[in-house]
Structure 1
């Protein structure tokens, strides 16, 4: 009987060791995933410290613009609140649709006045993007000319910019999850 107990204890110790090893491997894989994502982001940006999508460089002032949201609100560069996040999306962009649920979820926890979604109305049907984001963000649908996208010098979608009061770019990223920690919006 004591041999059976010894074997059971040994098997239990081996199972516990295996479980701890598995948890350590999972933790390490998560760390590597974050590092790989950061590497892809750096390559996407054209090197470390660059502006994503050819946009206005960090620290520079966005070009002047004035636009109307889908619910009739007016938005101008000089009245953007500190920490406003501007999301540039296109209906025919697979990456935009992939990040849409994360963007909507993230924006739901923010002050709506500090989240601005600019949807390219020149390509595809903007309605799905507009209907998803309207409850949680100010939404602008841009037809030609694309005044807001031009002011930010956006060349590809999706792009997310965080701006300070008056329109100075604080951060430009390609993924919602890459927005600066503690961002106001």
Structure 2
């Protein structure tokens, strides 16, 4: 009988331990789910805390900071030199969502009116790791390679990748981590000017 009581106590303790571990695992899985959703959306954590989905650059209506950079072709580029309604894209060669949206950006940039000089792509990384991305972007857009936290990223307030920004009159007209959101705003602005 004593063995039966000891066995029941042991089973009870093991069950309580199992329950405690299960609660801890479930809580950690919830934390990971939030972090994973943020990373997939291109959002990051910063000194402002966890950014809302889509908030990877300056919000709509914000003034864009001044910048000057040199393209991969050796030419100078500034925001003012990109025309009336420039499209800007930020990519990182190590970013999976960047790779997924790169083809759509190239396709849209090739079909967008205004020519190559009204589009700017910033590839964040070293020249070696950025070479393939630069090669795909160069035929349809002006390309700059800069290191993490570079001057163009600071001017646009970029905190995650990819980031797509549409500018009008030195202000952000649209910014998002999904290209289609910026394409929709670009189409609306184009039809409003006709």
Question: Is this a same-fold pair by TM over 0.5?
Answer: yes
Q: Is the 8 A contact 1:91 1:124 kept in 2?
A: no
Aligned residue number for residue 36 of structure 1: none
Aligned residue number for residue 52 of structure 1: 55
Change (3 A) 1:81 1:136: same
TM-score (norm 1): 0.67
Give CA deviations for 1:19-73 in whole Å, capped at 9, x if unaligned. Answer: xxxxxxxxxxxxxxxxxxxxx97x99727xxx621x2221121111000111122
Gaps of 5+ in 2: 1-39, 45-50
Q: Is the 8 A contact 2:90 2:164 kept in 1?
A: yes
Q: Is the 8 A contact 1:119 1:141 kept in 2?
A: yes
Aligned residue number for residue 32 of structure 1: none
Q: Does 1:96 align with 2:129?
A: no
* RMSD of aligned Cα (Å): 2.5
Q: Is the 8 A contact 1:80 1:164 kept in 2?
A: no
Q: Indicate the larger mover: 80-89 or 138-147.
A: 138-147
Q: Does 1:114 align with 2:118?
A: yes
Aligned residue number for residue 138 of structure 2: 134
Q: Which of residues 162, 167, 177 in structure 1 aligns to 2:166?
A: 162
Aligned residue number for residue 81 of structure 1: 83
Q: Indicate the larger mover: 121-130 or 85-94.
A: 121-130
Moved over 4 A (4+): none
Q: Does 1:148 align with 2:152?
A: yes
Q: Distance in 1 between matches of 2:172 and 2:105?
A: 19
Q: Is the 8 A contact 1:86 1:161 kept in 2?
A: yes
Q: Distance in 2 between matches of 1:116 and 1:137?
A: 6
TM-score (norm 2): 0.64
Q: Which of residues 172, 176, 187 in structure 2 aligns to 1:173?
A: 176
> Shift in Å at residue 169 of structure 1?
0.8
Gaps of 5+ in 1: 1-39
Change (3 A) 1:122 1:145: farther
Size of the aligned set, in residue pairs, is 139
